Amino acid sequence: MTEFTLPRRTALQLALGSLALPGIAEAQQAQIDPLLYGPTPENARRGGRITVGSLVEPPALDPFRQAADARIRVSPLMYQGLFFEDQSGVPRPLLAESATAAPDGKSWTFRLRRGVKFHTGQPMTSADVKYSYDFMRNAANGSPGAGDLSSVTSIDAPDDFTVVFNLSRPNAALPMTLTNKYGAVVPRGFLDDANSGTRMNEISVGTGPFKLKQFRPNSTLVFERNPDYWQPGLPYLDEITFVTMPNSAAMAVGLQSRRIDLAMFSRPQDTQALANAQGVEVRRWPSLNQKTVDLDCKYNNLGDVRVRQAIALAIDKKTVMDASISGYGTVIGTIVAGMQDAWGVPLDQLANQRVDLDRAKALLAAAGHPNGFDIDLTTIIGYDWMDAAAVTIAEQLRRINIRVNIRKLELGVWIRNFRAREMGFTFNDWGTTPDPSLLYYRHFRAAPEGADFRNWNHARASALLDRGQETADPAARRAIYAEFQKILAEEVPTIMMFSSDVLTANRTRLKNYVQHGTGWYFGLVKAWVEG
Amino acid sequence: MAGFLARRLGAAAIAALLSSLAVFLIMRAVPGDIVGQMLGQSGGDRAAEEALRAFFGLDRPLWSQFADWLGAVLRGDLGRSWYQGRPVGVMVWEAFLVTLELAVATLVLATLIGVPLGVVAGITQGSRLDRAIQSFNLVGLSAPVFWLGLMLLVGASAALDWSPPFAWSGPQEDLADNISILVLPVISLAVLQAAAYSQFVRGLMIEELGKDYIRAGRAKGLTPAELYFKHALSNVMIPLVTFMGLILVQILGGVVVIESLFSLPGLGRLILAGIQGRDYPVVQGALFFVVIIATTINLVVDLLYGLLDPRLKP
């Protein structure tokens, strides 16, 4: 049976008010939020094991020092931050119970949940929270998440269940930053050992619903239920085994032959093989990922805004999406599809979204390239969608006499170039935690506050990003990010083309699995299996 | 004999040293390092990069990094994986056992299929049977291993509603699972090697059967069985053993594709993952081990010559 569902979270408005934002009294949230990690099922059965097929495998399991998406996908099963990054864009209290910002916005006070135990058996207190986030924000410890905490100047633990984050400037996105992408709360002292990073391949020391049972690199990763987990009755499953699968054909075979219960597909069209499979359901979820073309403003002729606009005006996003992911996605303007409703500007109000070859040619001529020019377009090995997209874009740009030479790079080399701000004219594939500050700030804020990978160095955009981060009022914040997006569309340091849907396929015996738009496995906490 | 062994071992040591140096330099010449992998495309800043680089010793001069590594290897320590933290020696050995099982099973199956086919084709040269065997060889030699593997996987699922368990189990853990995991990759690899064998043996047989001593034997009234299997085949054995050694090295080299295609945690995948993650100790340790294995196989083949034909005794 095949079923296509596009789950609509109705929680958005409700959620926008549910977090204790500045001016809103702390108080609520003493109870456990029933929407944490997804909807709570009725009549769920406890027990049972499942096998999840995955095309990628974490290189290591350290949540503090490994940025690989494959690591982040599984970490939430074992480790927890203070908040859960609800897809609606609202941080739901996880290890925190409430959040209150000071009137000047320069400190946040978090009340912590009581009765939480680490996998080591120790109870969690504010000293552990302070220790964990102090470790993460210290750049010398090498955490990729340190940059997101640069506004934190100190962390206090006035009593066992209160922590206070002091900031150099207001940061309305702080709760969303203290979610589950990087870092987690671990027992104080654990990270003092120089080998703590690799020890986390053998034991888990978080507070999450599952404990690490076994990690066999290049093969399997096994989690078992945490019997002391703090959410009553959760998780339902006794054991989850992740198996590294060689390719999507093997995943389809594995589902049909009942070797695996759940799989996520990186190329949505690969689920077509399962359209008529017995006992397998294929489902489609909106994502927080985006496929883009990035323009390094120091590369080739891309320093001239007219050239960048001409390129944007020649690219037909829909055609590129159809060619590369068979249309299983949503064309976007300046924000990922999963955040469009809450934060996006309608595409018809953004510049350079519709193909206009005459204007593109005129802009090129005005920029001094009436006969076009040659340029390299970079794709990354292993990202299959980019191959089809590159050929399509080369063809589209040929119509304005830009001659594209496609160049393939290995991922490690590409990352090196990107970090060194030498990305050139390249495809990119990246996701975000659902907050505009976390989406835009590091990427587009001018240095040194931001990383400005595209050498855009845009003063007005940077000022807006600062204001957006500092502003607490949701409506004012939305207006600021709308203005920023209009500049982004006008200036074209990046062309955000489309968000590819997340496609999962599961055996029908697996119930209540909800896929998070990040592609991370939060949904396994409330999933259960029939006997 | 002792002098021969000493010379060969000396040459092997030099080969191991030079290839290790080459691997060391090439890995560092490839742009990007583990720091970029750990911080991802957008995480961390310069201070984090520098801290991690110092943690892994990447800020030290190249010669000192290599001297440290070599010194440790001479003490029998291949270092630890930067990601896993486990001793590289243990990781390489575990992965090698997987690859070895795959390679030996492939070699046995390929020999069992390829040698008889080659002998039959050689004896019946020009017949319909010979042409059929040659067609098999052509298909076997030209079908890409990854294509064949994928077809077998999808075919087995469609026809038998069966697929291998994708999680690896060693033979000592669960023999039935172990065999079901290996059956498709071994067939995929063995088809190619059996075709190569069969083609090679056919050529040898034809050449051997045209020689004077066979004619003399025939004139003497020897039975075909005696001619083919006692005389011709035993002369074919020497080049065949050389070929077997080559095939084994070739299988060990070709398993990267098949290990990736079937998710087998062997040496090829260990090295590939090490290269992609820039885990220098793993890549250096594993390739050092591969060089030692390849040299040993060649040495054993040379020694076997002596056993099979006393005239070639070193």
Domains of chain B with bracketed CATH: 88-312 (1.10.3720.10)
B52/A65 CB distance under 8 A: yes
Among A448, A414, A447, A436, residue whose Cα is nearest residue A488: A436
Greater pLDDT, A5 or A366: A366
Q: What is the pLDDT of residue B8?
A: 80
What residues of A are in contact with residue B52 (Cβ under 8 Å)?
65, 142
Q: What is the pLDDT of residue A219?
A: 87
- A232 vs B: CB within 8 A: no
Residue to substitute from B81, B163, B173, interface A, most A β-carbons within 10 A? B163
A413/B31 CB distance under 8 A: yes
Q: What is the pLDDT of residue B313?
A: 61
- Is the predicted pLDDT of residue A28 greater than 50, yes or no? no
- Every domain of chain A and the residues it spans: 42-57+218-286+501-531, 77-191, 289-500
Query: What span, in angstroms and rounded, lies between the C-alpha atoms of B146 and A254?
Result: 18
Residue to substitute from A241, A415, A417, interface B, most B β-carbons within 10 A? A415
Instruction: Say yes or no: do domains A77-191 and A289-500 share a fold.
Output: no
A412/B52 CB distance under 8 A: no
B42/A443 CB distance under 8 A: yes
CATH superfamily of A289-500: Dipeptide-binding Protein; Domain 3 (3.10.105.10)
Smallest Cβ–Cβ distance between B163 and the set A146, A257, A410 belongs to: A257
- Of A165-179, A495-509, B239-253, the one with minimum mean pLDDT is B239-253
Compute the count of residue pairs across chains A and B with CB atoms less than 8 Å apart: 177
Among A328, A295, A303, A290, residue whose Cα is nearest residue A431: A290
pLDDT tens digits, residue range A31-60?
A: 788 889 989 999 999 999 999 999 989 999
Q: Radius of gyration (Cα) for chain B, nearest Å? A: 24
How far is A197 from chain B, CA to nearest CA, in Å? 8
Smallest Cβ–Cβ distance between B40 and the set A53, A68, A218 belongs to: A68
What residues of B are in contact with residue A247 (Cβ under 8 Å)?
150, 261
Smallest Cβ–Cβ distance between B84 and the set A65, A201, A418 belongs to: A201
Q: What is the pLDDT of residue B312?
A: 64
Among A514, A66, A214, residue whose Cα is nearest residue B168: A214
Tokens for B258, please give them: 């098949």
Cβ neighbour number for residue A51 with a 10 Å cutoff:
22
SS (HEC) of chain B: CHHHHHHHHHHHHHHHHHHHHHHHHHHHHCCCCHHHHHHCCCCCCHHHHHHHHHHCCCCCCHHHHHHHHHHHHHCCCCCECCCCCCEHHHHHHHHHHHHHHHHHHHHHHHHHHHHHHHHHHHHCCCCHHHHHHHHHHHHHHHCCHHHHHHHHHHHHHHHHCCCCCCCCCCCCCCHHHHHHHHHHHHHHHHHHHHHHHHHHHHHHHHHHHCCHHHHHHHHHCCCHHHHHHHHHHHHHHHHHHHHHHHHHHHHHHHHHHHHHHCCCCCHHHHHHHHHHHCCHHHHHHHHHHHHHHHHHHHHHHHHHHHHHCHHHCC
Smallest Cβ–Cβ distance between B45 and the set A139, A220, A245 belongs to: A139
pLDDT tens digits, residue range A456-492?
A: 999 999 999 999 999 999 999 999 999 999 999 999 9
Tokens for A37, please give them: 């990690």
Residues 6+ apart with CB under 8 A from A39: A512, A514, A526
How far is A261 from chain B, CA to nearest CA, in Å? 13
Smallest Cβ–Cβ distance between B161 and the set A65, A257, A419 belongs to: A257
Smallest Cβ–Cβ distance between A139 and the set B51, B84, B167 belongs to: B51
When the candidates are 3.40.50.300, 3.40.190.10, 3.40.50.720, 3.40.50.920, the CATH number that belongs to A42-57+218-286+501-531 is: 3.40.190.10
Q: Enter the ipTM.
A: 0.85
Instruction: State mean pLDDT over A198-209.
Output: 96
Instruction: Please report which confidence band the pLDDT of residue A23 belongs to, taking 50, 70 and 90 as the band edges.
Output: very low
Query: In order along chain B (314 residues), what is the average pLDDT of each group of 10 residues?
Result: 81 88 93 91 85 92 94 93 94 93 92 92 91 92 88 89 88 92 93 90 88 87 83 81 81 81 90 93 93 82 74 62
**Residues 83-142 (B) with a CB less than 8 A from some CB of A:** 83-86, 91, 95
A417/B31 CB distance under 8 A: yes
DSSP tag of A117:
B
Helices A459-470 + A436-444 axis angle, to 10: 150
- Is the predicted pLDDT of residue A21 greater than 70, yes or no? no
- Is the predicted pLDDT of residue A168 greater than 60, yes or no? yes
Which residue in chain B has the smallest CA separation from A68? B40
Instruction: State mean pLDDT over A297-309.
Output: 97
Tokens for A46, please give them: 């406890």
Instruction: State mean pLDDT over A256-272.
Output: 90
- A253 vs B: CB within 8 A: yes
**In contact, A383 and A406? CB cutoff 8 Å:** no
**Residues 37-66 (B) with a CB less than 8 A from some CB of A:** 37-45, 47-49, 51-52, 55
Which residue in chain A has the smallest CA separation from B261? A246
Instruction: Please report which confidence band the pLDDT of residue A19 belongs to, taking 50, 70 and 90 as the band edges.
Output: very low
Instruction: State mean pLDDT over A273-289.
Output: 92
How far is B227 from chain A, CA to nearest CA, in Å? 49
- Is the predicted pLDDT of residue A4 greater than 70, yes or no? no
Query: What span, in angstroms and rounded, lies between the C-alpha atoms of B28 and A381?
Result: 20
When the candidates are 3.90.76.10, 3.10.20.30, 3.30.830.10, 3.90.1150.10, the CATH number that belongs to A77-191 is: 3.90.76.10
Q: What is the pLDDT of residue A15?
A: 36
B36/A182 CB distance under 8 A: no
